[in-house]
Amino acid sequence: MDGERIRDPPSERAGLLERRVMEKGETTYRIVSKNVSEYHFIVPYDLSEEERAEVGQIFSVRDGSLTYLARVLNIEHSSNYDGHWDTTIKGTNFFDSDQIFNLVIAEPLGCVNEAGEFRKSRTLPTKFSAVKRAERDQFRFLSQVMGDIEVGYLRNGTRLVEEIPVVLHSEAMDHHMGVFATTGMGKSNFMKVFAASCMRLAVRGESKFGLLIVDPHGEYLKGKAAIKGLVHLQRYRDGLACYSTDRQNAADPGVEELAIAESEIFPEDIALLYEWSPPQRDALDAISRIFDPGSWLEEIKTGEGMGRMMQEGFKDSTVSVLVRRIKNELERNKYVKKRSSLANILANLKRGKVVLVDIPRMADRSELFLLSVISRYILDEYKREEDESRKNCLITIEEAQRVLGAGSNTARFESIAREGRKFGVGLCAITQQPKLIDKQLLSQFNTLVVMGLGDRNDRNQLEESAKQDLSSMDIEIQTLEKGEAVISTLNIPFPVPARIHRYEDYLRRLEKEPSDKSIPKGGFKPFLE
């Protein structure tokens, strides 16, 4: 269209008629706008159920040597007609179905170059670039950034991409992990799958951390009815050490009856169980100064011990409350004995095993008490020695809002969250109410497994604390189905949609895994000799 050409006689042009033909089908699946942080593309409005675009689905945009990936945030009705013109149905129907479409709003994830390297994108695909549902080839790069703890398969919308397993990094576990879901969305299943993968790594000698699970519901050990437990993973059973407060469970070979020695209980363990008045708190703090740390529990219960407290200026009533509560706890927690399982537990964790502490039917307060004692013991031990062969440790806390909530008097868990990483101790917080967890603590969690949260406040809390931007995934998180998750973790460049393996299926798969010569012979002994 230059000035010279328009004066030329038409016959001297390349062709008198330069026909350009738009054929049917060219107006679909194209990027139409919008900017570097948000792509808009169109898809036919009348696709079959299988072909429909879904929130969370990842599409790919091929543009030259780059393949852009974008995740669907929302889908809107739209058309090429202005205003509300396309809402005026008269006569029979619209003839031009190609002019009516769904507008897909997608968040760019990044782009993959021809060498299969992924990077964040600072530009946008050419307008009208063709868009298609991302398939395994476009996700291949993800395999390179996955870790060693398999938990599920990549999910694209509701479709599985079975060729791409979602695999967490062991290295990220001392940066803490959070598992968030409302009841029935699959938290326990996730933890069992996670534990099974850890057991596998332990047996193969590839484990990089020990996993401690304290199970107050008695569901991890043997499962319930048709639901399998961790002991059912026979092939990697050697990667599991079990301790139980239940006599029947403890009678099984390979399960030790849990015992905590009185000498291993500190006043701080009692402190977190009750609300204390300031004088009572002072009295608690004074215990370690007044008594021998190894025998305080014995001594304080005696008349002489109470007298020593009163000599320190504490009132009779204050000391009485203190002693009564201590006696109650000792009465309630029958596992407090002369002997202890803690050294065994620690040793197994250091060897990278999965340690399951089975405490069925235990009261909430007792569970907290036990968890506090074990966690404190582990942290102290990990702080003490710098053995290079020692594996890191991940401590699981069910209903974590009880101990990580804003204003809770559980400084122990807070200190693990804040400084545990320095010593190789991470927390795995499981909760259905992340909104109750302290925001600053939550921001220390670098791996988030989000499995469907209906409460807006829960989602907001996570979005504000997550290392990766989850705010755009609000609709997706809201619409996650049972077993589906969005996983945000270090080393994987964007929050990954996943379908967590059903534990029973995963167990069957692991049992059938071809034997590996690298698995050490002789198995695992649950108890220290």
User: What residues make contact with another protein under the rule CB under 8 A?
Assistant: 1-3, 5-7, 9-11, 16-24, 80-81, 88-96, 98-99
Q: Which is nearer to another protein, 22 or 115 (CB)?
A: 22
User: What is the maximum span of the chain, computed from C-alpha positions, in angstroms?
Assistant: 119
Helix (H) or strand (E) holding 298: helix 296-300
Q: Which is nearer to another protein, 20 or 384 (CB)?
A: 20
CA 258/CA 392 separation, integer angstroms: 22
Q: Which is nearer to another protein, 15 or 514 (CB)?
A: 15
- Identify the burial level of 148 via C-beta atoms within 10 angstroms of its C-beta, where 0-12 means exposed, 13-18 middle and 19 or more buried: middle
Residue type (1 letter), 407: G
The dihedral of CA 119, 120, 123, 126: what is its sign? positive
Minimum CB–partner distance for residue 489 and another protein (Å) = 45
CA 213/CA 359 separation, integer angstroms: 10
Minimum CB–partner distance for residue 92 and another protein (Å) = 5
Minimum CB–partner distance for residue 14 and another protein (Å) = 12
Minimum CB–partner distance for residue 88 and another protein (Å) = 7
DSSP string for residues in 135-196: -HHHHHHHHHH--SEEEEEEEETTEEEEEEEEEE-GGGGGG-EEEE--TTSSHHHHHHHHHH
Minimum CB–partner distance for residue 129 and another protein (Å) = 20
- Is residue 254 within 8 Å of 348, Cβ to Cβ? no
Q: Which is nearer to another protein, 3 or 407 (CB)?
A: 3
- Is residue 309 within 8 Å of 283, Cβ to Cβ? yes
Minimum CB–partner distance for residue 97 and another protein (Å) = 8
- Bridge partners for 152 per DSSP: 166, 500
Minimum CB–partner distance for residue 106 and another protein (Å) = 25
Minimum CB–partner distance for residue 30 and another protein (Å) = 16
Q: Which is nearer to another protein, 76 or 96 (CB)?
A: 96
Minimum CB–partner distance for residue 32 and another protein (Å) = 14
Q: Which is nearer to another protein, 2 or 49 (CB)?
A: 2
Minimum CB–partner distance for residue 18 and another protein (Å) = 8
CA 20/CA 26 separation, integer angstroms: 13
CA 415/CA 423 separation, integer angstroms: 11
CA 497/CA 71 separation, integer angstroms: 10
The dihedral of CA 420, 424, 430, 433: what is its sign? positive
CA 5/CA 487 separation, integer angstroms: 59
Minimum CB–partner distance for residue 47 and another protein (Å) = 18
Q: Which is nearer to another protein, 94 or 274 (CB)?
A: 94
- Identify the burial level of 217 via C-beta atoms within 10 angstroms of its C-beta, where 0-12 means exposed, 13-18 middle and 19 or more buried: middle
Question: What tokens appear for 507 in the block?
Answer: 């167990």
Question: What tokens appear for 100 in the block?
Answer: 């009516």
Q: Which is nearer to another protein, 49 or 82 (CB)?
A: 82
CA 431/CA 222 separation, integer angstroms: 22
Q: Tokens 């519901």: give the residue.
A: 217
Question: What tokens appear for 207 in the block?
Answer: 């484990």
DSSP string for residues in 420-457: GGGGTEEEEEEES-GGGB-HHHHTT--EEEE-----HH
Q: Which is nearer to another protein, 23 or 386 (CB)?
A: 23
Minimum CB–partner distance for residue 36 and another protein (Å) = 22
CA 335/CA 352 separation, integer angstroms: 25
Strands (E), 308-434: 336-337, 354-358, 392-397, 425-431
| Distance from chain centroid for Cα 289 | 41
- Is residue 104 within 8 Å of 53, Cβ to Cβ? yes
Q: Which is nearer to another protein, 91 or 522 (CB)?
A: 91
Q: Which is nearer to another protein, 90 or 517 (CB)?
A: 90
Minimum CB–partner distance for residue 480 and another protein (Å) = 38
Q: Which is nearer to another protein, 98 or 257 (CB)?
A: 98
Q: Which is nearer to another protein, 79 or 263 (CB)?
A: 79
